[in-house]
Amino acid sequence: GQNIDQPTEMTATEGAIVQINCTYQTSGFNGLFWYQQHAGEAPTFLSYNVLDGLEEKGRFSSFLSRSKGYSYLLLKELQMKDSASYLCAVRDSNYQLIWGAGTKLIIKP
């Protein structure tokens, strides 16, 4: 079967750095996406990785290791508005997105 694992919830302090991990087992791999979702709102696209390594985009970075079936999203200089759920999704061999359940990130002052 196909499986995406993320921690259910994480807590971090404003101004700090947090790393949200995602491991996956899918039938084929055609890229990994990270989305942010605020409560009651739709997911918004954050990043895309298809090759191994780190992709940096402002305060957010995403890393991929295809051999390990592993990715992480790194958030720096945390702000209160970063409190949200972060969804990891893998595009499988059929080019369909397989979604994790999301990691709820709580930012404390």
Partner 1 sequence: DTGVSQDPRHKITKRGQNVTFRCDPISEHNRLYWYRQTLGQGPEFLTYFQNEAQLEKSRLLSDRFSAERPKGSFSTLEIQRTEQGDSAMYLCASSTGTGDQETQYFGPGTRLLVL
- Supply the minimum distance, in Å, between the C-beta of residue 100 and partner 1: 5
Check if the beta carbon of residue 18 is closer than 8 Å to that of residue 75: yes
Query: Do strands 18-25 and 32-37 pair parallel, antiparallel, or not at all (unpaired)?
Result: unpaired
Residue selected from 71, 73, 75, 102 as contacting partner 1 according to rule CB under 8 A: 102
- Which region among 13-21, 58-66, 75-83, 99-107 touches partner 1 (by CB under 8 A)? 99-107
Is 87 among the residues that bind partner 1 (CB under 8 A)? yes
Site string for partner 1, 33-52 (x = CB under 8 A): x------xxxxxx--x-x--
Cβ neighbors of 18 (< 8 A, separation 6 or more) are 10, 12, 74, 75, 78, 105
Contact between 29 and partner 1 per CB under 8 A: no
Residue type, 77: E
**82/15 Cα distance (integer angstroms):** 11
Q: If DSSP codes are grouped into helix, strand and coil, which group holds residue 81?
A: helix
Q: Which residues bind partner 1 (CB under 8 A)?
A: 4, 8, 30-31, 33, 40-45, 48, 50, 87, 89, 91, 94-97, 99-102
